[in-house]
Structure 1
Amino acid sequence: MTKYLIDSNALIESSHNYYRPLCFSKVWDEIAKNSNVYMIKQVYDELTGSNDFVSDFVKNNFEDRIVEVDENTVMRYADIQNWLVKSKFWTQAGYNLWSDNEKADPWLIAMAKANNYVVVSHERKKPMMSIVRPSSKEPKITTVAEYFDVKVITIYQMLEELNFKEA
């Protein structure tokens, strides 16, 4: 069975724009009950720092589904950081946005690569990067994950793969 790692924006955007909790409670119940949906500590910390539906949802459903970092994940994280610099697709300012250990995105990709997870994110794919015009913006999960052969899907695709049906 496929294991999924959720990015913060998948839950935030879904709750605000697509699956409003009062109207789509069954979607949230499915995410809560499915034992193949996980998150990393950095995502958990990002989401539980506020006082809203997503924060309460994560506290109530994911505290025991935080995936612990292992040695293989640390090695993949180092690979990602090295590639970001060597690729020359980002300026130092762009790279710095992902070099903080608390930044969830590189850890999410590293964990997925190291432990065979599928990343669930609503980040949109950017056009091919260029070393001629490196970006000063932060790297995108989709761009980096593609290079490291990590599958990224939306929450809609995850629900389809889980055979979820809103009755």
Structure 2
Amino acid sequence: MTRFLLDTNIFIQAKNLHYGFAFCPAFWEWLIAQNAGGRVASIDKVGDELQAGGDELSDWAATRGRAFFLPPDDPVVPALARVSAWATSQTYEAAAIATFLQVADYWLVAHALAHGFVVVTHEVPSDSTRKIKIPNACIGLGLTCISPYEMLRRERARFILGPSPRAA
């Protein structure tokens, strides 16, 4: 069974663009159902970033809790060391490395490495030495990294048009 670990930008772009809560609730319901089946999750640091928004998405994230936004566990600790070693062995600027090691991306990649998740992000690889992108870290560490659209295709997600809720 493939398990997917979602980056912060998946939730934010979904809410702001393609899968707004008001017009595509099926996307959010699909995430919840897939999480209940052990196939889709994220990490607590992503949940923290989302909850800091003070909006509908932050409420959604708060409601999901630790079942969706996984805390680090014992296998994540050695994975953090591997991710850090990879980052510091590359040609990134010192500021890029320092920033990466302080943000959720670092923990996301380590969690995926520790538990065999496929990482899902909107980020794309970059040759820039000024910022470590999630896909670059995944490539360097032998992890699979895909877009949310690829995840939805692989999982054969279907969002069926239903009746509109009546305005109150």
TM-score range (shorter-chain normalised) is 0.7 to 0.9
Gaps of 5+ in 2: 161-168
Q: How far does the alpha carbon of each residue in 1:60-97 deviate from its partner, in whole angstroms, 9 at most, with x for none?
A: 2343223232332111111111221122x211111111
Which residue of 2 is the match for residue 85 of structure 1? 88
Deviations, residues 9-40 of structure 1 (Å, cap 9, x unaligned): 11101211222222211111111221221111
CA distance in 1, matches of 2:65, 2:120: 15
Counting matched residue pairs gives 157
| TM-score, normalisation: structure 2 | 0.86
Where does structure 1 differ by over 6 angstroms across 4 or more consecutive aligned residues?
none
Say whether the 8 Å CA contact 1:124–1:142 is kept in structure 2: yes
3-state SS of paired residue (2:67): coil
Q: Does residue 13 in structure 1 map to residue 7 in structure 2?
A: no
RMSD: 1.6
1-structure distance, mates of 2:143, 2:87: 16
Structure 1 residue 63 and structure 2 residue 56: aligned? Answer: no
| TM-score under structure 1 length normalisation | 0.86
User: 2:59 is paired with a residue of what secondary structure?
Assistant: helix
Distance 2:7 2:101 in 1: 18
Cα pair 2:76 2:114 within 8 Å, conserved? yes
> Which of 72, 76, 79 is the aligned partner of 2:75?
72
